[in-house]
Amino acid sequence: MQNKLSIGEMAKLRGVTVDTLRHYDKIGLLKPYHIDPETGYRYYSISQYEVLGTIKELRSIGFSLEEIKQFLTDRNVKKSVQSLQKAMANIQEEIKKLQGIHNILMTRLYNIEHFTNNYRNSDIVIKQFEEREYIQLARSVGWTDTENLYFGYLELENKIGGIIPALASNKFGDFNKKEYFDEIRQSSVFSANLTDYQSQLFILVQGESQSNQPKKLKKGYFYVPIMEDSQGRKC
């Protein structure tokens, strides 16, 4: 056979691994043009270079190996168009998901920078919010019970099915009476009187796809406590 390529040469030309070509041979996706009966070495024709390129391209746009196999086995214009239209729809869906992640990260970055620039020396601030939707944890949790607090956070996070973990974001809240904050503001230490406090956790629903029926927080002014973590950082 003229212009035959060893498996290593073909792999190098197309930027794939030898193991990948062996796997494609095994599943019947791209079989070698020739196998030496004495050595068992695999050889490929230069014409298979484009076939392998098509496989790589289809893989990059989300085709499964089985779909690629069908595409190459029974090729015609109608099926090719249908397959590519399906791939385009999948890509558009991925773009939508990535745009959602981008929006979440931009909002989170803004909140961090806004907090750093405006609330550095505050203990409690009052902010105005528009109407928001939320889901509340079905049970109360002791504020000093750190383990159960985190379990509560994770339970709420799972309920909204968010893409990016909500922990360390501004999506969690806690219902408190105004009198409680008035007492804290008069204390020299923010953590005073927290031993017996029972937290009423909730998480804001901000466009996430979830089956729960969220409640609504009316727009208005709310107390926002600024606390310090174990390393003395405002959060």
Q: Which amino acid is at 89?
A: A
Model-wide pTM > 0.85: no
Contacts for 83-91: CB closer than 8 Å, 24+ residues apart = 87/58, 87/61, 87/62, 87/63, 90/61, 90/62, 91/61, 91/62
The pLDDT of residue 232: 45
SS3 category, 126: strand
Rounded Cα–Cα distance for residues 203 and 134 (Å)? 5
Q: What is the pLDDT along the chain (235 residues), one digit of tens a residue?
A: 457 899 999 999 999 999 999 999 999 999 999 998 888 899 999 889 989 999 998 888 888 999 889 888 877 778 778 888 888 888 898 888 888 778 877 877 776 676 666 655 555 667 788 888 888 888 888 877 888 888 888 888 788 776 555 555 667 778 776 666 666 556 655 455 556 677 788 888 876 555 567 888 888 877 666 554 444 444 4
The pLDDT of residue 44: 93
Rounded Cα–Cα distance for residues 103 and 109 (Å)? 10
Rounded Cα–Cα distance for residues 223 and 227 (Å)? 13
Contacts for 189-193: CB closer than 8 Å, 24+ residues apart = 190/123, 190/225, 190/227, 190/228, 191/227
Contact in structure between 184 and 192 (CB atoms under 8 Å): yes
Q: Which amino acid is at 151?
A: F
The pLDDT of residue 26: 93
CA angle 173, 174, 180 (to 5 degrees): 135
Rounded Cα–Cα distance for residues 104 and 96 (Å)? 12
